[in-house]
């Protein structure tokens, strides 16, 4: 699964900022994009690419973004944004997610899942799944959505958009929506593949109450319990990482 992650706009794009210039949209978009990428890479078979300049050195043109994703063969195109209304502060609020105007079923399913997860995670007003003739939705060959994660022009939501906690929350919700829509599976941790079985331990004909453990064909025994059964002292040196077993009468 190839997923193109698009942090909308660059830091110098005119108008893409809070009315008082206390935050530029790219500051939100690019950080969420990094968190989304990290989250998606925890799943089997996922590859990602950025369509934007992660260091904010330039605002990559829209045509260059979609061309790069198309040439790479992206399966999904996820464009991350923060919203605004007018040129000053306003009461506009909430989260909305867009598909192209033809409303492809696969894109609507993805947008619906992401929108639901974002609203659930943030508690912000649900503006719904909408359709627009945005370039990245029209020109991308992939299943494409554009997400607006709150209004930079709303005092309360601007404060959220500036916070790392909110950015992480949005990223986790976007990942959850993608996972839900396309059925991604988490990578198995190495420990999950390790076979671990309990094994009995018998000393001088008596079975110990504490079991040994069999891991990948190797038996790990409870030394303290064995030492007690044979009348030996068992000591652990945490500095040298050494177990010392001393039987009675030994010097």
pTM of the model: 0.75
Residue 251 lies in a domain: no
pLDDT category, 14, cuts 50, 70, 90?
A: confident
The answer on 109 and 202 residing in a single domain is no
The answer on 155 and 98 residing in a single domain is yes
The answer on 69 and 129 residing in a single domain is yes
Residue 206, domain extent: 190-246
Question: Across residues 193-211, what is the average pLDDT?
Answer: 73
Residue 226 lies in a domain: yes
pLDDT digits (tens, 9 = 90+) for 207-230: 877 677 777 667 777 877 777 888
The two most distant CA atoms of the chain are separated, in Å, by 89
Residues in a beta bridge with 215: 196, 218
Q: Give the pLDDT confidence score for residue 245 in this predicted structure.
A: 83
pLDDT category, 193, cuts 50, 70, 90?
A: low
Percent of the chain at pLDDT > 90 equals 70
The answer on 169 and 90 residing in a single domain is yes
The answer on 219 and 99 residing in a single domain is no
Cα–Cα distance measured from residue 28 to residue 20, given in angstroms and rounded to the nearest whole number: 16
The answer on 61 and 130 residing in a single domain is yes
Residue 87 scores a pLDDT above 90: no
Residue 12 scores a pLDDT above 60: yes
Number of separate domains in the chain:
2
Q: Give the pLDDT confidence score for residue 243 in this predicted structure.
A: 78
The answer on 54 and 171 residing in a single domain is yes
The answer on 163 and 87 residing in a single domain is yes
Residue 35 scores a pLDDT above 70: yes
Residue 212 lies in a domain: yes
The answer on 218 and 157 residing in a single domain is no
Pairing state between β 202-203 and 206-207? antiparallel
Cα–Cα distance measured from residue 115 to residue 98, given in angstroms and rounded to the nearest whole number: 9
Angular region, 204: left φ>0, alpha ψ -120 to 50, beta rest: left
Contact call for residues 35 and 80 (beta carbons, < 8 A):
no
Last residue of a domain, one of 133, 148, 182: 182
Q: How would you class 65 by CB atoms within 10 Å of its CB: exposed for 0-12, middle for 13-18, buried for 19 or more?
A: buried
Place of tokens 């079975």: 207
CA contacts within 13 A on the Cβ side of 59: 14
Of the segments 18-22, 57-61, 76-80, which one has the largest average pLDDT value? 76-80
The answer on 159 and 210 residing in a single domain is no
State the CATH number of the domain containing residue 37.
Answer: 3.40.630.40
């Amino acid at each position: 699964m190839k997923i193109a992650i698009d942090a909308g706009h660059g830091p110098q794009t005119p108008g893409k900022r809070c009315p008082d210039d206390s935050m530029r949209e790219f500051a939100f978009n690019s950080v969420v994009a990094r968190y989304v990428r990290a989250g998606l890479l925890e799943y089997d078979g996922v590859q990602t690419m950025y369509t934007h300049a992660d260091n904010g050195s330039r605002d990559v043109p829209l045509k260059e973004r979609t061309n790069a994703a198309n040439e790479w063969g992206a399966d999904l195109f996820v464009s991350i944004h923060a919203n605004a209304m007018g040129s000053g502060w306003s009461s506009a609020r909430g989260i909305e997610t867009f598909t192209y105007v033809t409303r492809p079923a696969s894109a609507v399913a993805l947008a619906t899942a992401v929108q639901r997860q974002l609203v659930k995670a943030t508690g912000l007003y649900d503006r719904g799944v909408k359709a627009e003739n945005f370039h990245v939705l029209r020109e991308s060959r992939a299943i494409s959505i554009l997400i607006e994660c709150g209004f930079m022009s709303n005092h309360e939501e601007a404060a959220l958009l500036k916070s790392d906690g909110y950015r992480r929350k949005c990223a986790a919700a976007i990942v959850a929506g993608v996972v839900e829509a396309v059925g991604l599976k988490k990578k198995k941790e190495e420990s999950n593949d390790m076979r671990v079985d309990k094994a009995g331990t018998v000393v001088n004909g008596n079975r110990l109450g504490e079991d040994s453990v069999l891991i990948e064909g190797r038996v790990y025994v409870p030394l303290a319990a064995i030492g007690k059964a044979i009348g030996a002292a068992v000591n652990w040196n945490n500095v040298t990482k050494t177990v010392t077993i001393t039987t009675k009468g030994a010097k």
